[in-house]
Amino acid sequence: MAKIPGGLIVDMFPDGTVRLVFLADIGGGNESPVNAKDLDAAEVLFMTSGLTPERAAALRNEVERNKVANMDMVVDEEIAAKFRYTKPN
């Protein structure tokens, strides 16, 4: 499976909702955010995106503290596709 380099941008809204957007370095253009209902759910998404539990916890703490975070990462093509908007046929 292909690996896609890019950046993950995470921000938290005042109501606690967390938005994640993965911006691919190459071949992007149709990015779509993935929303989590709270930081607990977002931390699970961090891990399913390929982060170690330790890195996911550190990212969660950064978002909780700063309300925003970003990081460079490489994800599987399947994960990158979850952040891509496709028009319905």
How wide is the angle at C-alpha 80 spanned by C-alphas 57 and 56, nearest 5°? 5
Cα–Cα dist 25/88, whole Å: 25
As a whole number of angstroms, the distance between CA 37 and CA 72 comes to 23
The domain limits of the chain are 3-82
Pick from 1-10, 50-59, 79-88: least confident: 79-88
pLDDT score of 88 more than 60: no
77 has a pLDDT exceeding 90: no
Q: Within 13 A of 72's CA, how many CA atoms are on the CB side?
A: 2
**18-69: pLDDT as tens digits:** 999 988 887 666 788 899 999 999 999 999 888 999 999 999 999 999 999 9
Q: Which of 29, 27, 31 is nearest to 19 (CA)?
A: 31
